[in-house]
């Protein structure tokens, strides 16, 4: 009578994990909802469906903590994730315009503190992590398919006089949206293909690697140089951490996907090649977008010099931009296509998260926030290397699948964080895809700082002949092995 529940325990745990991470999964899936809001992007709030879902995620975690008295976060996790909140508060209090900074404080708290902490609380096992990763990959495939269709049919955002830029369901005002989602899907699929979980079907490895390779197509059609660079760096780190032999087998699949990419680019391959070549020409013959970006970076540094310790306050960059930028700044960019009329969009940020924090929050904010991210990265790599050694050196050959520690979650978490830190060199927060940034930081923090319960529920224990010591235990089974 006791065998049936034991055999059913893994299945119950699998579905229990799915329900537990459902709020986070729903937040990811809602990124498929079209975002065509053409309201003034200078408004204090631009709340999207994904933002509402992330708020619900935070509230549910808070209610669960109060109702069930779940395990609190470890002190190290609280310190690493909570320290940026203090920096944001200081920058808001000493801001030259606190009323303008207050909405920014709420936004920063949402993206860098509350949502990541909620993800750490929700994820209890590596299986929970994989549920969330699967949702991101699914959304990346959907957005990528929409982006490829836009490129092929000429219904995307405007680029070089043609409506061919892939933006997915995002508006032309947020050309980085689809590229960000697809890049996350590439990193996750690559990590899953390099180190598939123990007991997974044989088709999972080639399917994951093929998915990562095919997602390179919509990433190329996004014409986002920053996303290309960050994705290449993150994938390189994942391949190196996975080991040489594992990486070589994956590179063959990725090379085949690259061939498909080049052949499928069609007439636009010249534009992609020109965009790719421009990466190494930004210092010699920069285009208008690069010139504006350099000018904005210089303005951010100049603003910081006026308030080096605490900055001018969150959301203070636009008000101080013109007083520190050179006359060569165009101050706006053209946007149109994908069902939206042509319009000029003001440049309100330096498109560099580090310089944005430096100018608005000073050295205090930059040191605390970047220090928090660095701590998560270092601890995540250290744990990954430790688990990787445990996986490659099990106690015995027969116990390889049982005692080996799968490293797909670690590769994914580290790869996502590397992508985000590299992407912050060319972008900052803004748009619906910012929710993915918050979830990424939460997944990385869970791996680096959280304490998961392993890969799955414990398997059924084999029946043994009771020994004298076991027979002497209480009949109620209070003592467990």
DSSP states of 203-225: THHHHHHHHHHHTHHHHHHTT-H
323 torsion bin: left (phi>0), alpha (psi -120 to 50), beta (else): alpha
pTM of the model: 0.84
Task: Choose between 69 and 317: higher pLDDT.
Answer: 317
pLDDT score for 362: 95
pLDDT of residue 465: 43
Q: What's the pLDDT score for residue 270?
A: 64
pLDDT tens column, 36-71: 554 544 454 567 888 888 999 999 888 888 877 666
Pairing of strands 162-165, 332-337: unpaired
Question: Residue 475: what pLDDT?
Answer: 40
β-pair partners for 163: 158
Cβ atoms of 217 and 210 within 8 Å: the answer is no
Residue 9 pLDDT: 44
Residue in the structure block whose two tokens are 């709030």: 45
Return the structure tokens found at 163: 């409506």
The percent helix, strand, coil of the chain (3-state, each to 5) is 65, 5, 30
- For residue 339, the model assigns a pLDDT of 61
Nearest to 309 by CA among 15, 93, 8: 93
Longest dimension (CA), the chain: 88
Among 175, 177, 108, 95, which Cα is nearest to 139's?
A: 177
Mean pLDDT value across residues 262-281: 60
pLDDT attached to residue 7: 37
| Residue boundaries of the structural domains of the chain | 21-32+46-288+336-395+403-449
pLDDT band of residue 402 (cuts 50, 70, 90) is very low
* Sign of torsion over alpha carbons 196, 200, 202, 207: negative
State residue 278 phi and psi, 5-degree precision: -65, -15
Residue 12 is predicted with a pLDDT of: 53
Q: pLDDT band at 8, cuts 50/70/90?
A: very low
Alpha helix (H) residue ranges in 161-286 = 176-194, 204-214, 216-221, 225-242, 244-264, 269-277
Tell whether the model's pLDDT for residue 459 goes beyond 60.
no
DSSP codes joined into one string, 16-41: HHHHHTHHHHHHHHGGGS-B---S-T
**Is pLDDT of 244 > 60?**
yes
Answer yes or no: is pLDDT of 105 > 70: yes
Please say if the pLDDT value at position 468 is more than 60.
Answer: no
Contact assessment for residue 295 and residue 326, using Cβ atoms and an 8 Å cutoff? yes
CA distances from 357 to 171, 323, 354, 429, 479 (A): 26, 18, 5, 11, 54
Give the C-alpha separation, 74 to 77, whole Å.
5
Check pLDDT > 60 for residue 149.
yes
pLDDT at 176: 87
Q: Is the pLDDT of residue 262 over 60?
A: no
Residue 461 predicted with pLDDT over 50: no
| Residue 334 pLDDT level (bands cut at 50, 70, 90) | low
d(CA 273, CA 148): 17
pLDDT bracket for residue 5 (50, 70, 90): very low
Place 210 in a pLDDT band, splitting at 50, 70 and 90: confident
Q: Residue 452's pLDDT band (boundaries 50, 70, 90)?
A: low
pLDDT at position 200 over 70: yes
The chain-wide mean pLDDT, for the chain, equals 79
* pLDDT of 250: 66
């Amino acid at each position: 009578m006791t065998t049936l529940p034991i055999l059913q325990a893994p299945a119950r745990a699998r579905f229990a994990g799915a329900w537990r991470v459902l709020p986070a999964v729903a937040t990811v899936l809602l990124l498929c909802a079209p975002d065509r809001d053409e309201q003034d992007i200078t408004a204090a709030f631009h709340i999207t469906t994904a933002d509402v879902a992330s708020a619900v995620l935070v509230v549910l975690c808070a209610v669960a903590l109060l109702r069930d008295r779940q395990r609190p976060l470890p002190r190290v996790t609280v310190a690493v994730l909570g320290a940026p909140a203090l920096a944001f508060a200081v920058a808001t209090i000493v801001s030259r315009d606190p009323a303008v900074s207050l909405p920014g404080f709420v936004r920063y708290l949402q993206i860098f503190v509350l949502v990541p902490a909620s993800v750490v609380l929700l994820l209890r096992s590596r299986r929970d992590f994989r549920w969330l990763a699967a949702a991101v990959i699914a959304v990346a495939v959907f957005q990528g398919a929409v982006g490829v269709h836009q490129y092929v049919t000429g219904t995307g955002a405007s680029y070089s006089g043609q409506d061919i830029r892939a933006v997915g369901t995002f508006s032309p005002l947020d050309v980085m949206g689809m590229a960000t989602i697809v890049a996350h899907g590439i990193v996750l699929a690559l990590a899953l293909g390099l180190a598939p979980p123990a007991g997974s079907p044989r088709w999972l490895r080639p399917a994951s690697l093929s998915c990562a390779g095919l997602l390179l197509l919509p990433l190329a059609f996004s014409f986002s140089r920053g996303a290309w660079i960050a994705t290449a760096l993150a994938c390189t780190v994942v391949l190196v951490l996975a080991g040489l032999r594992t990486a070589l087998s994956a590179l063959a699949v990725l090379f085949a996907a690259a061939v498909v990419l080049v052949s499928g680019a069609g007439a636009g391959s010249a534009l992609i090649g020109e965009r790719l070549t421009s990466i190494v020409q930004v210092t010699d013959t920069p285009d208008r977008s690069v010139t504006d970006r350099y000018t904005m970076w210089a303005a951010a540094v100049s603003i910081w010099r006026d308030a080096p310790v605490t900055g001018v306050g969150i959301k203070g960059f636009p008000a101080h931009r013109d007083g520190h930028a050179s006359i060569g700044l165009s101050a706006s960019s053209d946007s149109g296509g994908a069902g939206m009329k042509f319009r000029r969009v003001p440049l309100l940020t330096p498109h560099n998260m580090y310089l944005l924090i430096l100018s608005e929050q000073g050295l205090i904010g930059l040191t605390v926030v970047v220090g928090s991210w660095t701590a998560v990265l270092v601890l995540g790599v250290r744990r990954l290397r430790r688990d990787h050694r445990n996986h490659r050196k099990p106690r015995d050959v027969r116990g390889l699948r049982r005692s080996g520690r799968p490293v797909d979650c670690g590769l994914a978490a580290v790869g996502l964080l590397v992508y985000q830190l590299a992407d912050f060199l060319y972008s900052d927060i803004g748009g619906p895809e910012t929710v993915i940034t918050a979830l990424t930081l939460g997944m990385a923090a869970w791996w680096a700082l959280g304490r998961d319960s392993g890969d799955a529920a414990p398997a059924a224990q084999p029946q043994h002949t009771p020994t004298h010591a076991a027979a002497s235990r209480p009949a109620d089974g209070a003592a467990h092995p």
